[in-house]
Structure 1
């Protein structure tokens, strides 16, 4: 078993795998290019598959305080606001999938994972510029001129991963033709929307989703709109609230009230990549968005990173470094590719005005993701499907 692992990136995936490795007895160094771990982002979905992992790690009480268990997803028409469909969630999903579905602010999830990775050495202001796999270890080089060594390198450095670039070479991002506005508003600014329900307004060319976070005190919104101009591939790029409001000026008053309460928003072009045939060689691998950047329509980005973290720590603990990394990839690549490709043209994009049973069909089509238990697969308790 290797003793020291270098994790590049201190986002959700990097912190998750750092904590998972610590639980297996590894020494972990996390290298982050930013000068501080900032509370950035908005809300996110913590599916039953991700919630299951965090509860097993002992963070159930944290999730119950910081997150929200939506009671339902309600689909409404863009123009007259009529309810097209309503999917009950809450305790019904606990009964169906064995653990709750949460919506949570990214900063709250980050705080949970910082606690989880408390035994790791987090090195800020370390921007990776290159690495060399020497066979018996990996040498890392940083923009500052500093270097470091480790037995294994895990690239958890996001969609613009330096490690992925070295592993996969030049790639052409796959643009979806859409971009998304994203942000939060106080729940009290939209009093006509029950704070424990997710709402999705659907129109012919756009979608507006909102869901509660921070114990129901705030609503996160995501507005997916056509974008013929190939928008910026960055979820932190600044957006214009006035432009957002203009795009929805003819929608139902509840939808207009939601976007009308927006004072700050981010807009990012929705891209992904083709699944890779390999995530690495030797003592190097990828994890999370660096391995499988996906569109947000399944709400699975963070959840798949959590699953990666569990699997990677398991195989590095049971095998020699090279063999362990390849077994990790062999397990995770087919699964994440299925989720990644399924996110194209799916999620809310499948629900159309007057679409009848599309929501129920969508839930059924993605229930295998919620039901997936990575630890059960690892220990032979269930069969990967």
Structure 2
């Protein structure tokens, strides 16, 4: 049915503009969102990304990080796929994205990934990366860029001890040595050992995955010619019997820059470098975690030699910068979405590893945290929902996304652990020569003539 509305007289008066009550409600919500104060606990990749996005959208935000220096961070490099980069573009200024790409190593410019056995024999290759938009970037580089975006809203050297949710009042964040801070929304981005998520869940949100990882950096130029040729300008993975595995990642933000803009480059890595990660079951490698430098390197080489790895495959470890070596435990959240963020949505939430702690075996943990941040910001900026509704929608999507990422990462973890059984070790030792022979046959058939 149509209604005929008489027009206003042209003379005498002017009709007031018609305002939709829903439009007015949306406007009020947007104004309230801009005024709301969001406190982010944790200044890792996810927390800084969220803080940067909130600040750009005009929210009042404060990010509290216990480290006193954003460059004092574990890990060496991380991968951002196309989805993670799209999310980051929602959070930071275009110039910051340009600086990131100028400091990143493009996956499309390196050779296809490789799979080897413990003797260094080629077993196969990964997919063609020619059309892959992913990048590898130093963790320190990304964290520094994000910290610059957050600016004065980043507060370093501040340790949070508790989040008081109250019964009806807004939450408050408590510190070891400072007055509490009130907030309209608190977001825990404080990693796998998150205080905020543990408080929300009433207990840990993840558990040890059964593997201890060891990482280090080795300049490509420090390796012998034979190993440079075998490893190539690619990333690769080798898994041997008894739960031993070695990942070798190739990083070259200068020669393989995703964006050719030397004036914007700020990468920590300035030349072709292998960023490697060794993995062993916690049952045999837990005792190595307190070690550092040369003693850690020697102990690590000893574990591989006990498992009869070829000496040349260990060169990347033996010639690593001893000061770069570090040990860390793999933690993993449940793989079922229903078990993630097991609390009712409210004015305190969490994201990233605080909810879906992910082993580095999928290379997707940081990207997932950035996507969490972008999604939360999107819901908070929606003028048609309350804060609690925005958090509810965010958490529903985060559970699905977190489940997918943890599931992918745990496939490799379970494969490594499966080789640490009698049957698994025997199967691995028997199958890898066959796979290597098949790889050599495929190579000969592909040769011209």
TM-score by length of 2: 0.71
State whether structure 2 residue 251 is matched by structure 1 residue 213: yes
Find 2:300's aligned residue among 244, 265, 285: 244
Pairwise mapping of residues 369-384 of structure 1 onto structure 2 (< 5 A)?
none
State whether structure 2 residue 349 is matched by structure 1 residue 285: yes
Pairwise mapping of residues 298-377 of structure 1 onto structure 2 (< 5 A)?
298-318=362-382, 319-346=385-412, 349=415, 354=432
Runs of 4+ in 1 over 6 A off after TM superposition: none
State whether structure 2 residue 193 is matched by structure 1 residue 160: yes
Conservation of the 8 A alpha-carbon contact between 2:80 and 2:135:
yes
Find 1:269's aligned residue among 307, 329, 338: 329
SS at match of 2:144: helix
SS at match of 2:131: helix
State whether structure 2 residue 359 is matched by structure 1 residue 295: yes
Find 2:163's aligned residue among 131, 145, 148: 131
Unaligned 5+ residue runs, structure 1?
A: 94-99, 358-385
Write out per-residue CA displacement over residues 11-46 of structure 1, whole angstroms, 9 at most, x where no aligned residue: 111101111212322111001112222343312222
2: CA distance between counterparts of 1:232 and 1:243? 10
SS at match of 2:208: strand
SS at match of 2:356: coil
Conservation of the 8 A alpha-carbon contact between 1:297 and 1:347:
yes
TM-score by length of 1: 0.82
2: CA distance between counterparts of 1:75 and 1:146? 53
State whether structure 2 residue 91 is matched by structure 1 residue 52: no
Pairwise mapping of residues 188-203 of structure 1 onto structure 2 (< 5 A)?
188-190=221-223, 191=225, 192-193=227-228, 196-203=233-240
Find 1:255's aligned residue among 306, 313, 317: 313
Greater alpha carbon shift after TM alignment, 57-66 vs 182-191: 57-66
Conservation of the 8 A alpha-carbon contact between 1:13 and 1:288:
yes
Larger radius of gyration: 2
1: CA distance between counterparts of 2:404 and 2:178? 40
Determine the structure 2 residue equivalent to 1:65. Answer: 102
Greater alpha carbon shift after TM alignment, 154-163 vs 265-274: 265-274
Conservation of the 8 A alpha-carbon contact between 1:273 and 1:294:
yes
Write out per-residue CA displacement over residues 292-351 of structure 1, whole angstroms, 9 at most, x where no aligned residue: 112221111101100000000011111321111111001111221232133223379479
The total of aligned residue pairs comes to 348
Greater alpha carbon shift after TM alignment, 170-179 vs 70-79: 170-179
Find 1:185's aligned residue among 218, 221, 224: 218
1: CA distance between counterparts of 2:283 and 2:201? 28
Q: Are residues 280 and 267 of structure 1, via their aligned partners in 2, closer, same or farther at CA, if it must alter by over 3 Å?
A: farther
Q: Are residues 230 and 209 of structure 1, via their aligned partners in 2, closer, same or farther at CA, if it must alter by over 3 Å?
A: closer
Q: What is the RMSD of the two structures over their aligned residues, measured on CA atoms?
A: 2.8
Greater alpha carbon shift after TM alignment, 194-203 vs 344-353: 344-353
Conservation of the 8 A alpha-carbon contact between 1:232 and 1:269:
no
1: CA distance between counterparts of 2:398 and 2:283? 33
Find 1:223's aligned residue among 278, 284, 298: 278
Unaligned 5+ residue runs, structure 2?
A: 1-31, 254-270, 420-427, 437-449
2: CA distance between counterparts of 1:229 and 1:207? 13
SS at match of 2:316: helix
2: CA distance between counterparts of 1:288 and 1:237? 29
2: CA distance between counterparts of 1:300 and 1:38? 21
More helix by share: 2
